[in-house]
């Protein structure tokens, strides 16, 4: 084992120690700088490769992104069209109801009709479960119940409904005396089909 004895004065020894310390610190700082530089280069190259892969993925999935945008636009268009359809159906229903009331009112207002309308029943087109098995459907229409002055007034009221051309068929289902006291008043039921 080799031992070195430093016989230099303390000032020189201090300078030598400081020089060695500076050399060690400079080496450590240089090594840290080189390692930091290498780390920065590696991170920069990794970021560049990630940017390239991101660009490739964006190019690859651009059609899918366009389809998703079109999907959102189409869904908005479908919602708008459904709203228009609902409004159209509501207007059609209201228009049919108003036309129905107008036709019945005109027929009842004829001077020869002289009727009092008690009830008006509306049926929409639908298939009943028992009727569906036979393949027939119940047609939409109106059933009108009321009281008239006499049988002729009922016939004139039914004729007024036919003249409105709103119904494809108008038929008097029942016409019976309203009271048993011998008066001419009659209860009637008229069925109208669209």
Instruction: Express each pLDDT in 51-105 by its tens digit.
Output: 999 999 999 999 998 999 999 999 999 999 999 998 888 877 777 777 888 888 8
pLDDT at residue 112 above 80? Answer: no
Copy the structure tokens of residue 161. Answer: 């409904």
Average pLDDT over residues 41-52: 93
Tell which wins on pLDDT, 183 or 79. 79
pLDDT at residue 182 above 90? Answer: no
Tell which wins on pLDDT, 189 or 141. 189
Give phi and psi for 170, each to the nearest 5. Answer: -130, 125
Say what the pLDDT of residue 43 is.
94
pLDDT at residue 176 above 90? Answer: no
Beta-strand ranges (E) seen in the chain are: 115-123, 141-148, 169-177, 186-193
Contacts of 174 (CB under 8 A, 6+ apart): 187, 188, 189
Say what the pLDDT of residue 30 is.
95
CA 44, CA 50: separation in Å to the nearest integer? 10
Average pLDDT over residues 9-25: 90
Say what the pLDDT of residue 127 is.
46
Q: Are 156 and 131 in contact (CB under 8 A)?
A: no
Tell me what the pLDDT averaged over the chain comes to.
84
Say what the pLDDT of residue 139 is.
64
pLDDT at residue 131 above 70? Answer: no
pLDDT at residue 39 above 90? Answer: yes
Say what the pLDDT of residue 54 is.
92
- Interhelix angle for 151-163 vs 10-109, to 10°? 130
């Amino acid at each position: 084992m080799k031992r070195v004895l430093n016989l230099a004065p303390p000032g020189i020894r201090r300078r030598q120690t400081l020089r060695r310390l500076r050399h060690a610190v400079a080496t450590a700082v240089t090594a840290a700088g080189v390692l930091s530089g290498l780390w920065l280069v590696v991170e920069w190259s990794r970021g560049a490769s990630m940017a390239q892969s991101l660009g490739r993925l964006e190019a690859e999935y651009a059609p899918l992104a366009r389809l998703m945008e079109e999907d959102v636009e189409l869904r908005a268009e479908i919602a708008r069209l459904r709203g228009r359809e609902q409004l159209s159906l509501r207007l059609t229903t209201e228009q049919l109801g108003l036309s129905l009331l107008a036709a019945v009112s005109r027929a009842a207002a004829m001077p020869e009709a002289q009727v009092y309308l008690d009830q008006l029943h509306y049926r929409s087109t639908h298939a009943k479960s028992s009727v569906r098995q036979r393949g027939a459907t119940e047609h939409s229409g109106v059933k009108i119940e009321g009281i008239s002055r006499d049988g002729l007034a009922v016939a004139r009221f039914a004729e007024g409904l036919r003249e409105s051309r709103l119904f494809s068929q108008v038929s008097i289902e029942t016409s019976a005396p309203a009271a048993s006291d011998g008066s001419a008043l009659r209860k009637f039921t008229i069925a109208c089909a669209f």
